[in-house]
Structure 1
Amino acid sequence: MKKKVLIPTTFEEDTKTALRLATDIYQGSAAEITLCTISEISDSITELLFLDAKDHIDVSKRDAIISFWNQHKKAAHEKAEVSLHHQFGLSQPKFNRMMERFEPDMVVVPQSFQQSPEYIHQFALRLFHTSRYPMMLLPGNAETVKGIQRALYLDESQQQASSVAVQQYPFHVIHKSMVEGQEYGSTRTIVEKMQIDLIVKPKRKKGLPVEHDRDAGTFGLPILTI
């Protein structure tokens, strides 16, 4: 079965890392990757009659990302396919319909989208976070993320860990609850000594988005919430 990845983007450079990570995680799979841009809907009736995504994105940046992907796909013999989607306006019902349409196995969010000053992007980020879909937040130093081999699940206990959800991924997952109290000490020490590439956390149904979780965010690693 094809894996599906949704990447909300503003077509900044770190979109390239999101694409590379998506293909690395689902290596060997003919994955379907959708680059999704989101913009407000104008109040102007005239503009509503002639909605065009090109008026709401940086076309040169988009073309640069697509050019990179085409070169990367050819050089790495990637099987994945990339498509574009532009979402005009966003509300909870519109978000639900968009996600039902794409049914992504993972949402990969570049740092540039996380830090976007656009209200609609921050609103989308909150909706992604509270949705049932796994979401990976890339760090600011995303260009240093070369691949994911080993992840640390910040579970509070083995009983609470969603083992089925974690085991679907091709990287090795270490549960913090299983190594706590051993010689490793702090979470940072575990990350450093066990050469962790990814932090995994259970999703919060209520509360602040993952970007506000200081304990995980200070490691400079991607954060996957499931």
Structure 2
Amino acid sequence: MKNFLIPTTLKDDTICAVKSAISQAKSSGCEIILMMVSDAPDTFSSSGYLREMRTGLTASQETVLDTCRYIIDHTPNCKIKVHNQYGLSSPIFKRIIDVFSVKLMILTHSYKQETKRIHQYVVQLAANQKCPILHLSLEQYKDDFNKALYIENASGNMHVKDVQQFLSANFSFEIVSQTASFEDNYENFAPHLSEAISKYDIDLLVETRKGEKIKFKKKKTENLNDKLGLPVLSLYEEMA
């Protein structure tokens, strides 16, 4: 059984994230944890703390949650759980991953676009955890991924064979092409990337990452999802 963690504000693409988790479980069963994070109430009163924690869901959020539960109810050997987290830090995040035995974290496009500081903090904390992260794209949901393009990190020390070995042990897709990192020269790389994606029928990008210092930026920078419109599997280098 594989366990998946999906940070969410219950936007529509949470449904796609749940379907992706089920697909990655490969009929072996799974538990999906929908994590809803809020700031810890700023009060010393117990009654005040409990009062501020009682935040109901909107009608649209209820609909998304009901849909996710319906999908799980009709999927054998799968369970779903809603985890409400008030306040977050790196040790707490790591503890959540350990307690739920999370094998893959899934981040939706809408979650990464959230403007509240707590949600931006979740995304950055997630990147510093050793758990693999699947960044979903804006494209329509795809049942499964088969062929991947490996984006080699110039500052990393992971060989493509090591990455493929990790993928073979944990996922069902393979690397069919690779390229050097193009973050500072995307315009020149773009035609070659488009050609490779079309030629090899690539439906997933694979990258490695290292831990970084938490920084809050007023302007969001484009990531691989935005540039190429494909899902991205991000592997922490020590994992791969």
TM-score by length of 1: 0.82
> What is aligned with 2:94?
96
Q: CA deviation at 1:173?
A: 2.6
Instruction: Write out per-residue CA displacement over residues 153-206 of structure 1, whole angstroms, 9 at most, x where no aligned residue.
Output: 2236996232332212012332415xxxxxxx8122111221111111012333
Correspondence list, 1:34-183, <5 A:
34-46=33-45, 49-50=49-50, 54-55=54-55, 58-73=57-72, 75=74, 77-141=75-139, 143-155=140-152, 160-161=159-160, 162-167=163-168, 168-176=170-178
Match of 2:229 in 1: 220
Question: Residue in 2 aligned with 1:198?
Answer: 204
The 1:208–1:223 alpha-carbon spacing in structure 2 relative to 1, beyond 3 Å, is farther
Kindly state the Cα deviation for residue 98 of structure 1 after the two structures are TM-superposed.
1.8
Shift of the alpha carbon at 1:214? 4.3
Residue 180 of structure 1 corresponds to which residue in structure 2?
Answer: none
- For residues 57-89 of structure 1, give each alpha carbon's deviation from its aligned partner in whole angstroms, at most 9, with x where no partner exists: 5253443223212432455x4431111101100
Identity of aligned residues (%): 21
Alignment partners' CA distance in 2, 1:159 and 1:117: 33
CA distance in 1, matches of 2:234, 2:3: 17
Distance 1:194 1:52, change over 3 A: farther
Residue 28, structure 1, aligned to residue 24, structure 2: no
Is the 8 Å Cα contact of residues 130 and 205 (structure 1) preserved in structure 2? yes
For residue 228 of structure 2, what is the amino acid of its counterpart?
F
Paired amino acid for 2:173? F
2-structure distance, mates of 1:144, 1:12: 15
TM superposition shift of 1:207: 7.2
- CA offset digits 1:97-149 (Å, max 9, x no partner): 222212311000111110000111111111111210000111223x3434322
Consecutive unaligned residues of structure 2, counting only runs of 5 or more, are 180-190, 236-240
- Equivalent residue of 2:4, what SS? strand
Alpha-carbon contact 2:69-2:80 (below 8 Å) kept: no
1:196 partner letter: I
| Closer/same/farther in 2, CA of residues 117 and 176 from structure 1, 3 Å limit | same
Which secondary structure does the structure 2 equivalent of 1:45 belong to?
coil
Residue in structure 2 matched with residue 4 of structure 1 by the alignment: 3
**Are the aligned partners of 2:125 and 2:214 in contact in 1 as well (CA < 8 Å)?**
no
The Cα offsets for residues 27-54 of structure 1, whole Å up to 9 and x where unpaired, read as 2111111000101012123365416754
Structure 1: state its 5+ residue gaps: 178-184
Distance 2:53 2:175 in 1: 40
Change (3 A) 1:43 1:159: closer
What RMSD over aligned residues (CA atoms) do the two structures have, in Å? 2.8
Q: Does structure 2 retain, via aligned residues, the 8 Å contact 1:11–1:65?
A: yes
Question: Which residue in 1 is equivalent to 2:183?
Answer: none
- The range that moved more, 32-41 or 161-170, is 161-170
C-alpha distance in 2 between matches for 1:111 and 1:3: 23
